[in-house]
Structure 1
Amino acid sequence: MPVGGGTVEICVNEELDYRPIESNFDKELNLRMTEKGNSVITGTAFARDHGNNKLQVVNIQRAQYAPKGTVVSILPNSAYIEEWKAVNKKIRKGKKLPEVPIDPNVAACIKTTKVYDDKGHFEFTNLMPGEYILMTSFGYTHRYSYQYYAGTNYLMHPSGAVLSSNNVYNTANGASGATAEIETKVTIKKDGDKVDVNLKDVR
């Protein structure tokens, strides 16, 4: 703001206690959640691709399993994670402020495993009771069949008049690349439980 004599004073908010996210991230607790329990999460990662009905596209292979070796990640859910997501969602909607970076300690608490067969199966062990976020991403080939217009058949009168007509459609096969981005929540109710989940991306 102008303060006289051609001088402009700029006020900057330098409050060190400014906290866009009120919740704290407890690194030690989150590490224990994925290392000190007796519970197991098993699952299947796949995309269920139904195609685009408006284009008369029909997927040939509905369950597109995550390939062997696909990385699946797990992170204990918490008040901090939920608040961080909510705050950044609000910021993105307003399109005026930069998003709040996540606590760097979160990365150390993400545990990973890999799909171990051709049917998208994976497993996490040593988990404590609580809610978890499971995440994965993988590419696959979307193979499909579709119908296309091939012409029109006409039933003609000897005089040359058209008595009736009908469109003719043929069927062909095609393929395209696709990517599945999957995130879901899973709850373990008590220590020692084994929970089986479908980690799926429905299109």
Structure 2
Amino acid sequence: MTPLCRISALIVLLAITVCIPAHAATPGDDEGRLITRNADGAWFLQQPEGAPGKGCVARFMSAKKDQSQLALVGPTAKSPTAAILLHGPRIAAPPAAREVSVQVQQDGLPPATMRGALMPPAGGQGGGFIMIPVGDLAQTMGSMRVKETGMTARVDGVDAFGLSYDGLDQARSAMLDCLAGKRFTGGKSLAEATSEIRLMGTGSIAGNAFFKGALLAKKQYPPKGSQRVGLIHMSDEFKQWFETVKQSEKMPDRIPERIAKHFMFATILDDQGGFRFTKLPPGEYLLIADFSYKETATRSEVVGRTDVYVGNRHIGSNDQVAYWFEDVKKNTTFSKTVHLKDGEAMQVSLDKSMLGCFFICR
């Protein structure tokens, strides 16, 4: 197994075994303060200043690779309606709000069907949003279970969302206090919570990822809303640990937390493979893209023979060949090493292109 394949396998292992709060790669300043964190993810509370009891949001950010979110949204100064908001990479993002039927399936319970709305994209996040209005948010939170495993949502009969969460009892208590106008004084900000897991800085790396398989082929991009670009902080600590992994020639059962902090994932932001990592310290980084692309394959089959005669003499036969063309999916993994300066806003092209082989490769 090559070093790049080992690193790709480590990224998959990381997504399965290590808890990192969602948006650890791109923490925002308005995500609120940490209520609680567990193996499934983390709960944060948003509580605007100057409007007691209004604009409260308890948001769960999954630690899984798809970084799905569930938000309990209270009434605001402009709208008396509360809602449950689901966000994930498989949810469609229409240009305008559209009413839909949402079927929620919870472990051990019969499916529950309710009316909701698909919402247009917001804040540059990949994926889409499902909004489910609720009449009494306190009553709705009281009916929800503290822990859910494998909760799913189908929109118009299509699987669109999946999430496992824990810690709703603590999130519910903080949210009820917020709705009552009490200030939530405990907890760290998302940036502070993230800094416990990885080093923070002021630099950023942004760009586009694509694959181009031939000179005249079109560029192919990882799907919008997917988590197909990873970033590894190649510190001395990580390099020493990775050398040990290479020498052992086998994958570890679990990645230590001190090593897990070096891995980050980005949500693909648009249809041109756009990605962005923020709040990075200076140093060496390895960008990795891992996604599927389409390639047209040709298949031939002999369907008959044609006899050839000269006069009345048979001189041979020619095969009658039929050709079929079909699209097949293939996987590609490629990487680029970059060196980030302190506070630098780096723009990169993370691409794998066969153009360079047109003249010099054999």
Match of residue 144 from structure 1: 296
**Paired AA for residue 271 in structure 2:** D
- Bigger-Rg structure (1/2): 1
Match of residue 15 from structure 1: none
Choose from 202, 206, 216 the match for 1:37.
202
Q: Is 2:221 aligned against 1:68? A: no
TM-aligned CA distance change 1:169 to 1:200, over 3 Å: same
Residues 87-136 of structure 1, C-alpha deviations (whole Å, 9 max, x = no match) = 222221xx7xx858543222234333211111211122333332112234
Distance 1:168 1:186 in 2: 54
Give matches, 1:44-193, under 5 Å.
Answer: 44-49=208-213, 62-71=218-227, 72-92=229-249, 99=252, 102-140=255-293, 142-150=294-302, 151=304, 153-162=306-315, 167=319, 169-189=321-341, 191-193=343-345
**Paired AA for residue 90 in structure 1:** Q
Distance 1:182 1:148 in 2: 32
Residues 62-89 of structure 1, C-alpha deviations (whole Å, 9 max, x = no match) = 5331000121332210222222222222
Contact persistence 1:133–1:184 (CA under 8 A):
yes
**Paired AA for residue 36 in structure 1:** G
Contact persistence 2:287–2:350 (CA under 8 A):
no
Where 1:156 maps in the other structure, the secondary structure is strand
Structure 2 residue runs of 5 or longer lacking an equivalent are 1-193, 355-362
The Cα shift of 1:154 comes to 4.8
**Paired AA for residue 80 in structure 1:** E
TM-aligned CA distance change 1:179 to 1:189, over 3 Å: same
Structure 1 residue runs of 5 or longer lacking an equivalent are 1-26, 51-59
Distance 2:279 2:257 in 1: 23
**Paired AA for residue 285 in structure 2:** Y
Where 1:88 maps in the other structure, the secondary structure is helix
Identity of aligned residues (%): 23
Residues 143-187 of structure 1, C-alpha deviations (whole Å, 9 max, x = no match) = 41415144555542012231x665554432213333334443222
Structure ranking higher on relative contact order (CA contacts 8 Å, 6+ apart) = 1
Where 2:330 maps in the other structure, the secondary structure is strand
- Count of residue correspondences: 158
Match of residue 20 from structure 1: none
Distance 2:297 2:292 in 1: 20
Distance 2:220 2:321 in 1: 28
Contact persistence 1:84–1:100 (CA under 8 A):
no
TM-aligned CA distance change 1:167 to 1:190, over 3 Å: farther
Contact persistence 1:48–1:62 (CA under 8 A):
yes
Where 1:161 maps in the other structure, the secondary structure is strand
Contact persistence 1:115–1:121 (CA under 8 A):
yes
TM-score by length of 1: 0.59
